[in-house]
Amino acid sequence: MTWVSDYKYAWYEKLAMNVIRSGGHLPDHIAFVMDGNRRYATMAGIPKIDGHTRGFEKLAECLRWCLDMGVKEVTTFAFSIENFKRSKDEVDDLLCLAREKFTKLLQERAKLHDYGVRVRIIGNLSLLPEDLQFLMAEVMMETQKNNKLFLNVAFAYTSRDEITQAIETVITQEDHVLEESDINEHLLEQCLYTRFSTPPDLLVRTSGESRISDFLMWQLKYTILYFIKVFWPEITLWNFLAGIFSYQRASVRLEPFKRRQNTAEYAIITKTNSLELDRVQAFLKHLDMCKTEFLIKLRDKYLKPV
């Protein structure tokens, strides 16, 4: 199964998409909590891993819909750190499925380049088996120049861990570039896994659960939340479009507030003195270099012949 589906639209589906587009106020960034794979498997009388496999197939369809609706960024909650608490057999099956899908992604790299999809893995990669880390590093390096659709896959991720890692990054700086006065909300935000992402405009969660489950808690300040009472493998184009319509209705009221808040935040940043800005920029530049070197080392180890 490909990462981007060759979904065939019926004429009335194309019409519905055009109607939604004509309304304007489309989300640039959609986050998905892909919940309900196991319950779907139980309902369908199939093994749990088959439920997760069908969930991946549905993700491929959603990516197709997002591309065709002009969505620029998608973030998916694929594997929580809390998932390690499940049975060993289920965890092993999920990690094997991830290996299979990332290997498939590398095999169809030409298609991803054609679509302009850049894949970024957000999460604590050190918690994963080395061979899976290598695959993920290769995927990120392979697609790093694509810029039509950014796909952030949250794997071995929780918001609590993300914020903890950001704080540790600041307090364990090697060259002590930063001063105490440099440490603030803006700096911590730049140290999150989502440093190069915009905040989600719309978050969609399936399965009928109306909670966030420790996902992107820092980033959801202005996000519209949309909960669907179907399991993830059952989500349809109509559910997807209904979520966008819900965002359009809410964004009309939210946009003026967001503009005021963004203006206030920009004013705070501009008041920062140039010396402080230089220190912060030097720190972030070093941080980016370290992350890139880490990915290159992982990739080279993966590609190195035995």
- How many structural domains are present in the chain? 1
Judge whether 44 lies within some domain: yes
d(CA 192, CA 64) in angstroms, rounded, equals: 28
**Confidence band, pLDDT 50/70/90 cuts, at residue 271:** low
Q: Which amino acid, residue 35?
A: D
Domain at 176, CATH number? 3.40.1180.10
Mean pLDDT throughout 215-224? 93
The answer to the question of residue 14 being in a domain is: no
Backbone torsion region of residue 25, taken as left when φ is above 0, otherwise alpha when ψ lies between -120 and 50, otherwise beta: left
Residue 50: its pLDDT value, please? 93
- Half-sphere exposure at residue 292, Cβ-oriented, CA atoms within 13 angstroms: 8
Residue 48, in any domain of the structure = yes
The strand pairing partners of 30, in sequence order, are 74, 202
Task: Flag whether the pTM goes above 0.85.
Answer: yes
Look at residue 306 in the predicted model and tell me its pLDDT: 45
Rounded to an integer, what distance in angstroms lies between the CA atom of residue 143 and that of residue 6?
Answer: 20
> How many other CB atoms sit within 10 Å of the CB of residue 303?
10
pLDDT band for position 228 (cuts 50, 70, 90): very high
Has residue 17 been placed in a domain?
no
pLDDT band for position 280 (cuts 50, 70, 90): confident
The amino acid sitting at 219 is Q
pLDDT of the residue at 272 = 61
Predicted confidence band at 264 (pLDDT cuts at 50, 70, 90)? low
Whether the per-residue pLDDT at 197 is higher than 80: the answer is yes
Residue 305: beta bridge partners? none
- In this prediction, residues 5-9 reach a mean pLDDT of 86
The domain of 132 spans 26-303
Q: Is residue 20 part of a domain?
A: no
> At 131, which helix (H) or strand (E)?
helix 130-142
Tokens representing 113 are 């380049």
Task: Tell me the per-residue pLDDT of 138-167, one tens digit each, with 9 for 90 and over.
Answer: 999 999 999 889 999 999 999 999 999 999
Would you say residue 7 lies in a domain? no
User: Is residue 68 assigned to a domain?
Assistant: yes
Task: Report, as residue numbers or ranges, the catalytic residues.
Answer: 35, 52, 149
